[in-house]
Each structure stands twice: as structure tokens, then as C-alpha cells.
């Protein structure tokens, strides 16, 4: 049997657009003489669907597309698509997360998702009832075991999250092939984990696995594709491209092993950030971005990524020097935009800042210059950027990195504003590594930008290290606390200074209110700020 995997980039709630995309995949699979084509999880409506699922009309609209796909299907070509479906029982949740097998105009089989992840960015038990019954289906001389995403992930773990493995239930029916519809989000180490899980399933059940994954970005959540075919002995047959749509066909009787794709961490992060920007703009109908270009490494990288995603003519850099800006902040920025060939403006802020200062001085009661005046500068710059955004339809890209977001090193309603946070899941030390990817073929980000000490330049001689530990010291502590979810005692056991760790953790917890008011941040790690990390604003833990 010939099975096609259709790795597509759906748009949440765009039923007509998703239908046309699925039809295109069916046409390609048919042209390649496939007997069966498999699309990703919830491919009809897009994933993650979130509270759209609370509306019955949404599920009805999705199921209507399933019927249209069935009617569109080619003779002798079966199609598997994902959609929410209604649970007819009064007990339990009202919906299932369902894989539909369509053939000759009809739904001939359904498989409901059994393992509903409710952790990190996932919240599926909020909406779906888990499958309680499991059945295979005979098609074209093969017995198929169809599962959905998480259903194959509950193996190889000393502390399993679920009490059941769907394939343990299905294997007794003697299937010949495993098929998995997936919407498995990107993080820079997840592709390797995905292959390990796929191989573990193939070996455990002695069956080949055909795994169709989603590609593209849905706001902050990015999907990398990398759909898989694994032989019954665990050999990797094919890993489809990352961050690209495509349809490929595989003959179950002739599965030849191939090498997996390279998984260089910072190249993956770079590519994920580019598609994250591109899809955020494309899916929302935006075309032009604006960035406050400071001369620092974060804004330089953001501009370079935006140009890669949107084109050099669609990214406006705005240089907003103050009386505290160094000469190289402007010269480095001008060198960057020259290298990129992208437009820019220079709008100084000193005159406006002086007016603010003059008007407010009588009300400051003689108190000295402090963070108040620093924040005023950041907010003036934000007003400039948002004025241009409103006037010309630009979308402001936020340039805050994960280290800054973690400890609250930024001005709310100032440099923390924007439509999408490009680097909010990239630590400062990682920013430099992604810059190397940008510069791998030729120097785009000027060398001086990547070697000068980081500074907000909001007062004379200011450096980030005046307020924070050096980033090579800070970032590993943040990683232990945020990504590894290690507590105070566990971090101290690794040999870190107690006073430093307590200070850092306190900064992270106290900055929660700022993070609640920042834009969504593109997710490239396994624990990003935003929907995957939910902490109270008002709390006293580690205070």
C-alpha cells in the first residue's frame, strides 16, 4: 500500500482555506498514486483551537468541511483528516478530538484521541472527552491502528503521565500499520525527542509508523513539520523537511532507511523565529513591520529576522537617539540597515524628553534623577513607534529577550510593548548564537554590535551589568528555574551562590505582572513565557 503524508500549515478557523489546502494535498497524493493520504491533527479547523471549541457552531462548521472533503475524495484514494466531533453521550465533555477515515464519499471509521495533554501550552481536557473504546480498521488489505498525537507519547517514561497506552489496547487486534495524526509544537530539542518516541513505538509494537505533523506558526506556537516514517524495526525511513509544507508518498512494501535531518540548535531557532514572524503577519493580513533600532544586539537580530521573514522593503527601523546614546549606537544601526538594504528613520527624543522633564520637575518635589527618567525615555520611544504604526499600518516587533523578560529588565508601556515578541523565548547568551547563524554567509549584523557590552543607554555610562549579573552567569540560573523548574534548594545544590540565586528568583517572580502585559512571545524552547507558564501575579513564593 502507498501512504502519503500531507504536512500542511492550516489557519485556525479558516475552514474554506483549510479545505482548499486539504484538497490540494489530496490532488498531490492522487497524482503520486497513493492509496491513502494522512493529514495532521485537527487539520480541518487548525490547532491549537482553544476556546473556539466552546461554540457549537465552530464544531458544526468543521464537521461540514469533513463531509466536503469526503465528497471531494478521489476514487480509490482514502483520506484521514482531523476535526473536533460531538460526543453523543450526556456524560463527560461534549467533544472528541477525532481522526476521520474517509473513502468513496463516506466516513468509514473514526478514532478519538485518548490521551489529552493538559500541561505547558496544552489544555485539551478543558474541551475533549478521552476515547474509551479502541478499534482498528481494515483498508486495502491492511489493518490500520489510527491514533492522534499524544496517544503515542506515553512510553519510555519512568513516571508515565497516563495510565493507558492506546496502542496497548489496539495491538491485540493485530494491526499491520500504525498511523498518527499530530500537531506537535516546535522547541529546539523536540525534533530529536519526536524521532526517539516514534522509534520506540515501532520497536515496541513491531509495526511501521506513519506520522503526519503540522507545520507553521499559530500566534506564538510554532510547528516544524518533520513528519516521519519509521520501519517496524525502528529504522528511520524518512523525516520530512522542517518549516515547509509538502506531500510525500511511501510504499509500505519498500521502506528504505534514510539519514535524519541536521538538528543544529541555533539554526532551528533561527528558522522557527523567521516562520513565526512570517505566519503572524500573513495570517493576520499584515505586511509591514516597525522596529526600534537601538544599536544593541537584540534589536539588530530582530530587524535581521524580520527582513528574512517579510522582505527588506517591509521592515522600517527607527533610530531614536537621546542625549545618553553613544555615537556607535547610531553608526552600528546605520551599518546594519545598509547591509540589509532596508529603510530607516532617525527621530531624536531629547527635545521631547526635555519638555517632559521641564513640566514634571515641579511635581517631582526636588527628587533626584532615577529610573523614572529612564522609563520616560523608553515610553517616548514607544510613543514614536506606535504613532508611526497607527499612521502607516506597521506592526511593532518587540525586541525584549528572555533574560530581560525573566527579571523584568524593561519598561512596561515602553520597550515592552509590541504586537509580537520575537526574542522573548531566546536568552541573551542565545541571542549571540542566533546572530552567528544570520552572519554565517556574510556579515549582516555588524561585528561591533555583537561584542560591545549590553546597555540600555538611559543614563551616562549605563551597562546592563550595573543592574543584573553578567548574562553568562544569569542565564544558567534562569534556565534551571524556568525550563528545568528547579527550586531554590535544587539550584543551590548545583553550586551557585545562595545570595545570587535568591536575588534572581525574586526578580523573576516579581516581574510576573510585566509579563502579563507584554505581547505574545514566539515559543522556541520547551518552557516559554506565556500560555505555557502560568503563575500568579500576586504571590509570595521565594520573596
Angstrom CA distances, 355 to 22, 358, 367, 377, 380, stand at 58, 5, 17, 12, 11
Q: Which residues contact 87 (CB under 8 A, 6 or more apart)?
A: 93, 94, 95, 96, 129
Beta-bridge partner residues of 82: 99
The answer to whether 378 and 404 have CB atoms below 8 angstroms apart is: no
- At 131, phi and psi to the nearest 5? -65, 140
Can 199 be counted among the known catalytic residues?
A: no
**In this structure, are residues 294 and 457 in contact, taking their beta carbons and an 8 Å threshold?**
yes
Strand duo 315-319 + 344-346: pairing: parallel
| Cell numbers that stand for 117 in this block | 495533554
From residue 240, give the alpha-carbon distance in Å to each of 177, 246, 466.
19, 8, 47
What the block records as the C-alpha cell of 127 is: 474541551
CA distance 95 to 131: 10
Q: Clarify whether 239 is annotated catalytic.
A: no
Distance of alpha carbon 71 from alpha carbon 194, whole angstroms: 34
3-state secondary structure (DSSP) of residue 237? strand
Q: Which residue of the set 41, 129, 239, 457 is catalytic? A: 41
Q: Is 540 annotated in the active site?
A: no
Going from the C-alpha of 145 to that of each of 79, 114, 164, 429, the distances in angstroms are 14, 13, 16, 45
Measure the CA–CA gap between 6 and 17, rounded to whole angstroms: 15
What cell does 162 get? Answer: 497516563
229 strand-pairing partners? 210, 238
Measured distance CA(80)–CA(36) in Å, rounded: 8
Residue 53 CA to residue 66 CA, distance in Å, equals 16
DSSP one-letter code for 91: S
Beta bridge partners of 218: 221
Catalytic residue among 149, 165, 417, 435: 149
**Torsion sign across C-alpha atoms 481, 485, 488, 490:** negative
- CA 435/CA 276 separation, integer angstroms: 17
The count of residues in the chain is: 543
Q: How far apart are CA 176 and CA 479, in angstroms?
A: 43
Among 193, 194, 234, residue whose Cα is nearest residue 214: 194
> Counting Cβ atoms within 10 Å, is residue 473 exposed (0-12), middle (13-18) or buried (19+)?
middle
**Residue of 2, 113, 402, 514 with catalytic role:** 113
Catalytic positions: 41, 113, 149
Amino acid at each position: 500500500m502507498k501512504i502519503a503524508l500531507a504536512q500542511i500549515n492550516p489557519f485556525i478557523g479558516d475552514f474554506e482555506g483549510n479545505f482548499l489546502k486539504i484538497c490540494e494535498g489530496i490532488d498531490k497524493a492522487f497524482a503520486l498514486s497513493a492509496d491513502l493520504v494522512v493529514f495532521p491533527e485537527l487539520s480541518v479547523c487548525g490547532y491549537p483551537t482553544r476556546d473556539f471549541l466552546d461554540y457549537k457552531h465552530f464544531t458544526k462548521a468543521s464537521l461540514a468541511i469533513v463531509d466536503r472533503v469526503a465528497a471531494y475524495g478521489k476514487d480509490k484514494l482514502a483520506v484521514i483528516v482531523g476535526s473536533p466531533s460531538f460526543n453523543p453521550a450526556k456524560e463527560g465533555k461534549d467533544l472528541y478530538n477525532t481522526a476521520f477515515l474517509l473513502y468513496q464519499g463516506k466516513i468509514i471509521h473514526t478514532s478519538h484521541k485518548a490521551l489529552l495533554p493538559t500541561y505547558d501550552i496544552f489544555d485539551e481536557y478543558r474541551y475533549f472527552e478521552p476515547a474509551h473504546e479502541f478499534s482498528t480498521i481494515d483498508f486495502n488489505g491492511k489493518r490500520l491502528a489510527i491514533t492522534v498525537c499524544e496517544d503515542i507519547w506515553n512510553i519510555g517514561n519512568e513516571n508515565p503521565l497516563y495510565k493507558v497506552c492506546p496502542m496497548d489496547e489496539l495491538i491485540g487486534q493485530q494491526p499491520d500499520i500504525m498511523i498518527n495524526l499530530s500537531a506537535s509544537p516546535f522547541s529546539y530539542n523536540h525534533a530529536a525527542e519526536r524521532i526517539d518516541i516514534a522509534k520506540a513505538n515501532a520497536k515496541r509494537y513491531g509495526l511501521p509508523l506513519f506520522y503526519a505533523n503540522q507545520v507553521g506558526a499559530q500566534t506564538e506556537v510554532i510547528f516544524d513539520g518533520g513528519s516521519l516514517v519509521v520501519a517496524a524495526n525502528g529504522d528511520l525511513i524518512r523525516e520530512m523537511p522542517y518549516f515547509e509544507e509538502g506531500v510525500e508518498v511511501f510504499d509500505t512494501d519498500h521502506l528504505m532507511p534514510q539519514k535524519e535531518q541536521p538538528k543544529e540548535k541555533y539554526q532551528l531557532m533561527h528558522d522557527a523565529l523567521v516562520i513565526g514572524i512570517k505566519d503572524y503577519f500573513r495570517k493576520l493580513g499584515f505586511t509591514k513591520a516597525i522596529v526600534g533600532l537601538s544599536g544593541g544586539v537584540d534589536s539588530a537580530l530582530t530587524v535581521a529576522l524580520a527582513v528574512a521573514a517579510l522582505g527588506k522593503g517591509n521592515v522600517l527601523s527607527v533610530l531614536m537617539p537621546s542625549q545618553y546614546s553613544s555615537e556607535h549606537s547610531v553608526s552600528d544601526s546605520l551599518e546594519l540597515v545598509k547591509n540589509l538594504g532596508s529603510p530607516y528613520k532617525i527621530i531624536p527624543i531629547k527635545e521631547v524628553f526635555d519638555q517632559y522633564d521641564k513640566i514634571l520637575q515641579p511635581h517631582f518635589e526636588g527628587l533626584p534623577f532615577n529610573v523614572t527618567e529612564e522609563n520616560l525615555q523608553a515610553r517616548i520611544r514607544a510613543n514614536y513607534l506606535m504613532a508611526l504604526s497607527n499612521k502607516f499600518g506597521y506592526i511593532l516587533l518587540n525586541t525584549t529577550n528572555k533574560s530581560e523578560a525573566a527579571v523584568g529588565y524593561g519598561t512596561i508601556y515602553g520597550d515592552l510593548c509590541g504586537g509580537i515578541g520575537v526574542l522573548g523565548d531566546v536568552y541573551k547568551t542565545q541571542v549571540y548564537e542566533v546572530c552567528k547563524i544570520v552572519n554565517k554567509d556574510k556579515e549582516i549584523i555588524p561585528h561591533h554590535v555583537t561584542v560591545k557590552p549590553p546597555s540600555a543607554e538611559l543614563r551616562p555610562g549605563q551597562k546592563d551589568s550595573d543592574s543584573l549579573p553578567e548574562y553568562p552567569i544569569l542565564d544558567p540560573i534562569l534556565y534551571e528555574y524556568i525550563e528545568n523548574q528547579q527550586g531554590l534548594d535544587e539550584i543551590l545544590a548545583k553550586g551557585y551562590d545562595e545570595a545570587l540565586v535568591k536575588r534572581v528568583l525574586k526578580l523573576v517572580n516579581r516581574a510576573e505582572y510585566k509579563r502579563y502585559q507584554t505581547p505574545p512571545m514566539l515559543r522556541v524552547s520547551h518552557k516559554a513565557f506565556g500560555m505555557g507558564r502560568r503563575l500568579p501575579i500576586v504571590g509570595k513564593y521565594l520573596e
